[in-house]
Amino acid sequence: MASCISVSFIFIFTVSVLLISSALIRPTSCIPLPRTPQFDLDLLLIGDAQSVDSASSVQFTDPGASSSSSGLLLRTKPFRFPISFSTDFVFSISSHNGDGLALVIVPADFLPRFSRDSFGLSREKKFFGVEYDTFMNVNVGDENANHVGVDVDSLNSVAVCNVSSINLVLSSGMKVHSWVDYDSSSKRLEIRLSEFGSPRPYNPLLAYQIDLGQLWKGKEVLVGLSSSSSSPGNSMQNTIVYSWKFSLRSIPKWLHSEPLDPLRSSPKWLHSQPADPQEFSGEKGKDIKILDNIVWGLMRFVFVLIFAAFVVVLLRLVLANGGNQVNVVPAKGSTNPGDFGYQKVNMVVDGGLDDIKH
Ligand SMILES: *[C@@H]1O[C@H](CO)[C@@H](O)[C@H](O)[C@H]1NC(C)=O
Give the CATH architecture of domain 26-255.
Answer: Sandwich (2.60)
Q: Distance of CA 225 to CAs 105, 205, 241, 283, Å?
A: 9, 19, 9, 59
Task: Report how far residue 117's alpha carbon sits from residue 61's, in angstroms, rounded to the nearest whole number.
Answer: 11
CA-based end-to-end distance of the chain = 38
pLDDT at residue 168 is higher than 90: yes
Q: Where are the domains of the chain?
A: 26-255, 262-293
Which residue type does 339 have?
Answer: D
CA-based torsion, 124, 77, 343, 356: positive or negative: positive
Task: Please tell me the distance between residue 340's alpha carbon and the centre of ligand 1 in angstroms.
Answer: 44
Task: Report how far residue 257's alpha carbon sits from residue 31's, in angstroms, rounded to the nearest whole number.
Answer: 41
Instruction: Identify the bridge partners of residue 52 per DSSP, sorted by sequence position.
Output: 57
Q: Whose CA is nearest to atom 14 of ligand 1?
A: 162
pLDDT tens digits, one per residue of 255-309:
555 444 444 443 333 333 333 333 333 344 344 344 445 455 666 766 667 677 7
C-alpha triplet 224, 227, 228: angle, nearest 5°: 145
**Which is the closest atom of ligand 1 to the Cα of 143?**
13
Ramachandran region, residue 176 (left: φ > 0; alpha: ψ -120 to 50; beta: rest): beta
Residue 259 buriedness (CB in 10 A; 0-12 / 13-18 / 19+): middle
Q: 110-114, 296-300, 326-330: lowest mean pLDDT where?
A: 326-330
Task: Please tell me the distance between residue 165's alpha carbon and the centre of ligand 1 in angstroms.
Answer: 6
- The mean predicted confidence, pLDDT, of the chain is 76
Task: Report how far residue 169's alpha carbon sits from residue 320's, in angstroms, rounded to the nearest whole number.
Answer: 55
Task: Please tell me the distance between residue 339's alpha carbon and the centre of ligand 1 in angstroms.
Answer: 48
pLDDT at residue 69 is higher than 70: yes
Instruction: Identify the bridge partners of residue 72 per DSSP, sorted by sequence position.
Output: 46, 226
Q: Whose CA is nearest to atom 7 of ligand 1?
A: 164
**Which is the closest atom of ligand 1 to the Cα of 146?**
1
For every residue of 24-85, which 3-state class applies, written as one string?
Answer: HCCCCCEEEECCCCCECCCEEEEECCEEECCCCEEECCCCCCCCCEEEEEEECCCECCCCEE
Kindly state the DSSP code that residue 320 receives in the 8-state scheme: H
Task: Please tell me the distance between residue 167's alpha carbon and the centre of ligand 1 in angstroms.
Answer: 10
Q: Which residue has the higher pLDDT, 310 or 108?
A: 108
Q: Whose CA is nearest to atom 3 of ligand 1?
A: 164
Which residue type does 172 have?
Answer: S
85 backbone dihedrals φ, ψ, rounded to 5°? -140, 155
pLDDT tens digits, one per residue of 4-43:
445 455 544 554 444 444 333 334 478 999 999 999 999 9
Kindly state the DSSP code that residue 201 receives in the 8-state scheme: P
Say if residues 135 and 228 touch (Cβ distance below 8 Å). Answer: no
Task: Report how far residue 260's alpha carbon sits from residue 355's, in angstroms, rounded to the nearest whole number.
Answer: 52
pLDDT number for residue 234 = 61
